[in-house]
Amino acid sequence: MMLPQIVNDILKKLREKGVPVGGDDCSEEEQAFSPTFEEELDCALVESEIFEMIEVDAEGEKIIFKAFLDGIQRTMILPYRIPLPNGALVPLHVAHIAAGILFRDEKGRLYMDQSLIASRLLLLGPFQGIQETGGPSFGELEGNDVIKDTDDQTYDFPSHPNEWIICDTTFRGTDEERNKQQEDALHGDKLFDERTIRSRAQGRTAVLRQRLELTVLAKFRREYPNDFILVDGPLFFLDKWRRKAAKTLGNILSCSSQEIEGALLKNAVGLIKTLRLRPKDERRKLRVEQLSQMGEGYRSPVLRLSREVDIKGGKFDEESNSYAGAHLTWYTRLRSLRAEPPYGLRGLIRLDVHRSTFDIKNTDALEPRTFKQYKPIVDKITRSVWKEK
């Protein structure tokens, strides 16, 4: 594979300055174990007054999902580390991210459209922190010939397969002014904190993989604006991304920055298999333990969610995970391995749906008294996801 000259120069410098260490055969993602119900988050119960499981209406039409969107990431530690005057040996990473859409034709046969497959390669490390702590300088990163993780291009479809992006993980997030956030900056003695360095690399990879998935989804939506699509993971589109995304995704979809979220996410259903979220409602009691008792044919009441924590690929590396407008989410079970409760977490999933799918403009007004009209749609989506198991 041909490397861009700047990437080749940086890797050459890292090899020359680095200390060889034994590499790991497994990626960061393969070594990680997703915690369950770890992060408590405010989620208003909008369908009922109590968190009791609801039997899904078995009758009625089902949705036909035309396609399935999936993304993947693998983040690997390089086999050498950068030695610093303070004694730290700093790990660096390379990562591969890819996204594509699997279609199903009228006869049920599966196929992929090559124009809806995208991939990128990432080089990640706390480069500024290394330089400020007496390590090698990386002047190449200041040029315009390399795509950086702060650039608008990260929201666009790659110009070619395996396009390279340089990611400086010294600071959290991908904002252009992130260097003002010194509190969590990786420099000086904080470069001994290998756990944070590795976690941030994995999280940054997740950010850019998510954007790559959005660009693929935008191209799909241009051709199929109203078709239902199943998405692996949450429908992750942050409010803070809107301005930059509008420059690229808005052009693909021919819509304004205010319309882009609905144009992308309407009739998309996120299927979440990791269950980090522990929902909390100040007004009504939520007992997530009840989910273990929920068998097939049931679902939880619908919750309103304004921020996401169940991010595929690692803990998300952004200052804010807030949505522009709240999503609707609920739990159900694809299958159970036991004949009687408790069923545990096997087969338990959470579905994430944008308000535009329900033609809801403002979710703040939703409450149990007014939500009844949306129950048929919730049940229809749930039945259709069961069919996909």
Each residue's pLDDT tens digit in the chain (389 positions)?
567 788 888 888 888 888 888 766 788 887 766 667 777 888 889 999 989 999 999 888 889 999 999 999 999 999 989 999 999 999 999 999 999 999 998 888 999 999 999 999 999 999 999 999 999 988 777 766 789 999 999 999 999 999 999 999 999 999 888 888 888 899 999 999 999 999 999 999 999 999 999 999 999 999 999 999 999 999 988 888 888 888 899 889 999 888 999 999 999 999 998 888 888 887 777 788 888 889 999 999 999 998 887 776 566 666 567 787 789 999 999 987 777 888 888 899 999 999 999 999 888 889 998 899 999 999 999 999 998 87
CA Rg, the chain, in Å? 22
Does residue 100 contact residue 112 with C-beta atoms inside 8 Å?
yes
pTM: 0.91
Does residue 124 contact residue 95 with C-beta atoms inside 8 Å?
yes
Per residue in 68-115, pLDDT (tens digit) is 999 999 999 999 899 999 999 999 999 999 999 999 988 889 999 999
pLDDT of amino acid 47: 95
pLDDT of amino acid 313: 59
Give whole-number Cα distances, 51 to 152, 310, 386, in Å. Answer: 42, 20, 21
Q: How many CA within 13 A on the CB side of residue 219?
A: 19
pLDDT of amino acid 41: 81
pLDDT of amino acid 283: 77
Handedness of CA 381, 387, 388, 389 (dihedral sign): positive
Give whole-number Cα distances, 342 to 43, 99, 293, 338, 368, in Å. Answer: 24, 36, 5, 8, 28
Structural domain spans, the chain = 1-31+72-223, 34-66+227-389
pLDDT of amino acid 316: 61
Q: How many CA within 13 A on the CB side of residue 163?
A: 20
The C-alpha atoms of residue 203 and residue 197 are separated, in whole angstroms, by 10
The C-alpha atoms of residue 186 and residue 191 are separated, in whole angstroms, by 6
The SS3 assignment for 206 reads helix
DSSP string for 222-272 = HH-TT--EEEES----BGGGHHHHHHHHHHHHT--TTTHHHHHHTTEEEEE
Residue of 259, 273, 258 lying closest to 352 (CA atoms):
273
The C-alpha atoms of residue 193 and residue 190 are separated, in whole angstroms, by 5
Q: Which residue has the tokens 């799918």?
A: 357
